[in-house]
Amino acid sequence: MTACITGVGLVTPVGLSREQTWQSFLNGTSGIGPIQGYACAEEVVQIAGEVDASFEQHFLDQIQLPFARRFGRFTQLALLAGQEALQHSGLDLEQEDRSRIGVAMGVGGGATHYLDPVRQAMDAGDVNLFVRSLDHYFVIKTMFNAPAGMLTIQHGLQGPSTMVSAACASGSMAVTTGLDWIRSGRADVVLVGGTDSTVNRETIQAYWKVRALTDQNQLGAAACRPFDQDRAGFVMAEGAGLMVLESEQHAAARGAKVLAKVAGAGMVSEAYKIATPQLDGVGMARAMIAALANAKLPADAISHMSAHAPSTPQGDMAEALAVHHAFGKHASKMSVTAPKSYIGHAIGASSAIQTALLALSIERSLQIPTLNLDQQDSAIDLDVVHGAPRPSKDEFAMVNAFGFGGHNVSLILGKA
């Protein structure tokens, strides 16, 4: 049983909406540049993928909720993308049984930057500053379940709701949760996706210390280089990607336009290391094989892949090997793209953004090219789309997400 994607909402470093983001990807526009959110001239890492500075006012103009400016940034990103996804779907909530509409959201880092003033006050031993830094909005800003909770409140959605935290696989795991709810009959419609805002000094420094981030600041927009021989780590980013999932019966009954279908999902744990994948790709391959089994599809049904491809030396290589493990001889016949080359890695939002983009790619018969692939690593034997968008007739495509802790998720989307 499949679930239908009928609406998409996106807020990314290259656009405050679905269409702005899509056009930026088609035009080869990068959202990576010098960090604007805090002074970083003395920091090792000085680049990131940040949502445009106009976001805050745009959010307040679009979201009519009390105290909206007091929500955490990762919640604000989710609310804007969620509202767009629902509008895009054409759902008339006034005519719907809202007890049958759920929310499943993913988040990785959340709101760590709100802790910085608190830590500074504690380190200084300033009790008064400590008390002032903890206002009555602090819990609302920082609680991980705020995006899901506020989406249900904003739209009056009374079905099941949850937040999933599985590092870089959070968004895909939330999509899987929504698919399971629809398959089990727990809900007819689920608003699914991921959100994160981790462009802050603490998080970036921490990821750099585990050798995940590139410090090639001088490359600017060209610093994120998936599958390239000179890749040196990923670029931290922020954003949100949300989708409306519906059962086939519900979508058909209201005559909804279906963008793509979620045909299957594979979830596995590598049970290996916290921040390093199995270098032979076997752990990643198991997620892809599980997704094929869940969708009841042969390997040669998949013609395109949106790769996790964070631009790390080990991660990209392991994923390339995993594709060959999972698909055998068919691996060389599949096209592959790496969306993080445009916007960086938005942790809990990344795979949701990629899934939303893949749904648009399938609907519009156009594959997104990979940026900054000047010289593909000779050891990576994949057909990586680059240079220009590639026309396609993809019936089924896969999107991968592999998170710290060994949370591996592969989703299969199909043409409507």
List 337's β-bridge partners, or say none.
306
Q: What is the DSSP string of 303-332?
A: -EEE----S-HHHHHHHHHHHHHHHGGGGG
What pLDDT was estimated at residue 317? 98
What pLDDT was estimated at residue 295? 98
Q: Indicate the burial class of 128 (C-beta count within 10 angstroms; 0-12, 13-18, 19 or more).
A: exposed
Hey, what CATH class is 3-253 in? alpha beta
What pLDDT was estimated at residue 123? 72
Q: How many whole angstroms separate alpha carbon 205 and alpha carbon 222?
A: 20
Residues 6+ apart with CB under 8 A from 382: 227, 320, 323, 331, 332, 334, 336
Q: How many whole angstroms separate alpha carbon 62 and alpha carbon 187?
A: 28
List 366's β-bridge partners, or say none.
391
What pLDDT was estimated at residue 122? 64
What architecture is the 263-415 domain classified under in CATH? 3-Layer(aba) Sandwich (3.40)
Task: Break the chain into its structural domains and give their ranges.
Answer: 3-253, 263-415
Phi, psi of 3 (to 5 degrees): -125, 145
What pLDDT was estimated at residue 2? 97
What pLDDT was estimated at residue 124? 75
Residues of the chain with pLDDT under 50: none
Strand order in the sheet with 407-415: 161-164, 101-106, 189-197, 238-247, 3-11, 260-269, 407-415, 396-403, 304-306, 335-337, 383-384
Q: Which residues are catalytic?
A: 168, 308, 345
Contact call for residues 96 and 6 (beta carbons, < 8 A): no
394 closest CA partner among 363, 355, 354: 363
> Would 3-253 and 263-415 be classified into the same CATH topology?
yes
Rounded to two decimals, what is the model's pTM? 0.96
